Each structure stands twice: as C-alpha cells, then as structure tokens.
Amino acid sequence: MTTKRPIRNLALIGFMGTGKSSVGRLVAELMHFTFLDTDYVIEARAGKTISEIFAQDGEPVFRNLEKKIVQELVPRDKTVIATGGGLPANQENLNSLKTHALVVCLWASAEAIYDRVRGHEHRPLLQEADPLGKIRSLLESRAPYYRQADVLVNAEIRSVREIAIQVIHQFHMAQAAHR
C-alpha cells in the first residue's frame, strides 16, 4: 500500500475486457457510490461513439478528452470510476487518480482477454488482422502502468460479484489504513 493520502473514490484500471465497467457498476451499487465510466462520459460529450472519435478525429483527440476528464475527477467524492484501458498508460493520469482514489487494477492474460473481446466491434484498437498479437503487445507496453495500481486483482477466473466483493474489501482496508 502507498503512503497516507485521502481515499474518497475508487478507480478501476486494466486492459479492455477485464470487466471494469461491470465490476464498477456492481461495486457502486453495493457501496451506494456514484458510478462513472470515462468512456461513457467521452461518448456523451462528443455525441459520437469511441470508434467514430478514433476514425474521424484520431486517437490523440480521444486521449486529450481522457486527460480532461481525469482532471475533472479530482474534487469528486464517493465515486467508482471505470477507466478506459489506455487511460492510465499516461503517468500524469495515473498520478492524478492516486491523489483521491484507491486504484485497483483488474488483471487477465492476453488469451483470456482475447476470448472475452473477440467479435466485439466497438473497440477500435482491436480492429486488426491479428487482434491477439495486438493485445499482447499493448498489454506488455501498459503493464508497467497497470502494475502501479494499489491493488491488483485477478479478474480471469472469478465472477463479477466475487471480484466486486474483493474490491470493496480492499477499499475498506485502505480507507482504514489511511485514516
């Protein structure tokens, strides 16, 4: 665990398909917290899907929208934040989340992720001839960021509910330790 700091929120990070949104929604419901999904906020603000943003405006525009949301999250309280898979692969974003949230990473192997996301067409980064290869290389380049989470949870074998309960337990322990 890291040094003393205020923990008011919970941020879920991790690769696409690890279940951040499903787990986050359940955690928020069980804890009576607000749920916020950065991808959803971006789509609502832009009035278009993430695939459309990538295709029409390019990935850098999307990453700037992510950065802006991260900054806006700082004053929040009692919020469960599900982040896009690439959001914490920016050290400033990750540092900012850590100033107010317990950062929990949901982890799964490239193969398990591939099984979960194959056939989904709403993830522009995986619309490739070799999606598994792309998952492997992205996962490798992002691992140094994901590993900076306060807590790493194996999301490969457990159910959404089991993972949610484990996340809530970690949150309560961290809050007690940082009080």
Residues that bind ligand S3P (CB under 6 A): 16, 20, 39, 50, 84-86, 123-125
The region, left, alpha or beta by phi > 0 then psi within -120 to 50, assigned to residue 130 is beta
d(CA 138, CA 117): 14
Which residue number has the CB closest to ligand S3P?
Answer: 84
Q: How far is the CB of 176 from ligand S3P (least distance, A)?
A: 30
d(CA 53, CA 65): 10
Q: How far is the CB of 172 from ligand S3P (least distance, A)?
A: 25
Which of 73/174 has CB closer to ligand S3P? 73
The DSSP code sequence of 120-153 is: --S-GGG-SS-HHHHHHHHHHHHHHHHTTSSEEE
Which of 39/150 has CB closer to ligand S3P? 39
Q: How far is the CB of 97 from ligand S3P (least distance, A)?
A: 15
The tokens for 45 are 């603000």
Q: How far is the CB of 1 from ligand S3P (least distance, A)?
A: 25
Which of 40/76 has CB closer to ligand S3P? 40
Angle between helices 110-117 and 131-146 (to 10 degrees): 120
Which of 85/131 has CB closer to ligand S3P? 85
